[in-house]
Amino acid sequence: KINGESESEKPGFFEDLAISPPYAIAYVLFLGYAFMRTMGEAEGASMEVLQGFFNDPLNPGCNEIFTTIFNLLGLFFVPMACLLMPGAKGQKFPATPFLVGAALGGYGVLGPYAITRKPMTDITKADLGWFTANVLENKVFNYFIAAAFFSAYITSGLLDALLTKDVHEIISGYLDLVSSTAIASASSMDFLILTVAGASFVSEDVKRRNVDDEKTANLIGATTMLLPGIGLALYCALRPNLNEQ
C-alpha cells in the first residue's frame, strides 16, 4: 500500500480520461492537412520560405500576410498560458511543457493538452501557483504582450502594405503562397485553430471572473477573433482579477 491505498485501488491513467471532441477533431484535421500538403508540394518550396525567415525574421521577403501569421504563431503560447494556467491544477497532463512547446509547434504540440483537459471555472487567486499569480495575471505583463502582438502587425510590413499597396494584390499573393507551399497552408490552418481555440478558452476564463451568463461568456470569447492574436492578448490585459478567496 502507498499512503493507505493499494495500487489496485488507484485509478488508472485512462479510467477518468475525458476526450473533448472539438479539440480532437481540430487536431486530427490539422495533422492530416499538414501531412497531405507536405507530401504534395514541390521539393524545397517550404524550405525556401523558411530560409527567408532564418535570414531575417521580420523581413523574410515573402507575402506580408503570411509574414504576420508566421511571426504571431511564435507569440500565441503566451496568452494561451494566461488563459490555461489558472485552471491547470488537477488536469491529466501538466500544462507547462505543452505551452512552451506550442511556441514552436503551435496546435501540433498544444493539441493533446487541449483534448484531454477539463474546464475549470471555480478558481480563485489562492489556487494559483506563484508564476501564474504574479506574472501571467500581472497587468503590466499582459499589456506588454498585447503590445508585442500589435507590433508584429507593424514590423511584418502588413499595416504599411494595406495602406500603400493594392489590397487585392496582397491577398492574391497570400493565397498563391498558401496553394504552393505546405509551410504557408499548414501555418495558416494552425493560426486559425489557435484563434478559435483561444476564443473558447476565453469563454471559460470569463466564468472564473464572476460572469455566469453562458451567452455573455461566449460573446466575449467570440469578439477576440475579430483581431486574431491581439484579441486574446487584449482580453488578458483587460479581464477582471480573480477573487482572492
- Residue 2, pLDDT score: 44
Q: How confident is the model at residue 118 (pLDDT cuts 50, 70, 90)?
A: very high
- Residue 1, pLDDT score: 46
User: What are the cell numbers at 161?
Assistant: 502594405
Could you give the CA distance from residue 87 to residue 95 in angstroms, rounded to a whole number?
A: 9
pLDDT above 70 covers what percent of the chain? 94
* Upper half-sphere CA count for residue 130 (Cβ side, 13 Å): 0
- Residue 10, pLDDT score: 56
pLDDT (mean) for 1-22: 65
Q: Is 224 helix (H, G, I), strand (E, B) or coil?
A: helix
Q: How confident is the model at residue 66 (pLDDT cuts 50, 70, 90)?
A: very high
Could you give the CA distance from residue 26 to residue 69 in angstroms, rounded to a whole number?
A: 19
Could you give the CA distance from residue 243 to residue 245 in angstroms, rounded to a whole number?
A: 6
- Residue 16, pLDDT score: 72
Which phi and psi angles does 170 have, rounded to 5°? -65, -45
- Residue 17, pLDDT score: 79
- Largest distance between two CA atoms of the chain: 72
Is residue 3 pLDDT above 70, yes or no? Answer: no
Contact criterion met (CB below 8 Å) for 225 and 196: yes
Is residue 24 pLDDT above 70, yes or no? Answer: yes
Q: How confident is the model at residue 203 (pLDDT cuts 50, 70, 90)?
A: very high
- The burial of 208, by beta-carbon neighbours within 10 Å (0-12 exposed, 13-18 middle, 19 or more buried), is given as buried
Question: What is the per-residue pLDDT across 45-55, written as a single tens digit (0 to 9) for each?
Answer: 999 999 999 99
Cα separation values, 95 from 50, 72, 87, 115, 128, Å: 29, 21, 9, 12, 13
pLDDT (mean) for 67-73: 95
Is residue 119 pLDDT above 90, yes or no? Answer: yes
pLDDT (mean) for 106-124: 95
Amino acid at site 133: A
Could you give the CA distance from residue 86 to residue 65 in angstroms, rounded to a whole number?
A: 32
- Residue 14, pLDDT score: 64
Is residue 37 pLDDT above 90, yes or no? Answer: yes
pLDDT (mean) for 30-36: 96
Contact criterion met (CB below 8 Å) for 62 and 174: no
DSSP annotation string for 155-224:
HTTHHHHHHHS-HHHHHHHHHHHHHH-HHHHHHHHHHHHHHHHHHHHHHHHHHTTT---HHHHHHHHHHG
* Upper half-sphere CA count for residue 50 (Cβ side, 13 Å): 9
Question: What is the per-residue pLDDT across 207-230, written as a single tens digit (0 to 9) for each?
Answer: 999 898 999 999 999 999 999 999
User: What are the cell numbers at 141?
Assistant: 505583463
Q: How confident is the model at residue 68 (pLDDT cuts 50, 70, 90)?
A: very high
> Closest by alpha carbon to 197, among 11, 38, 24, 40?
24
Is residue 12 pLDDT above 80, yes or no? Answer: no
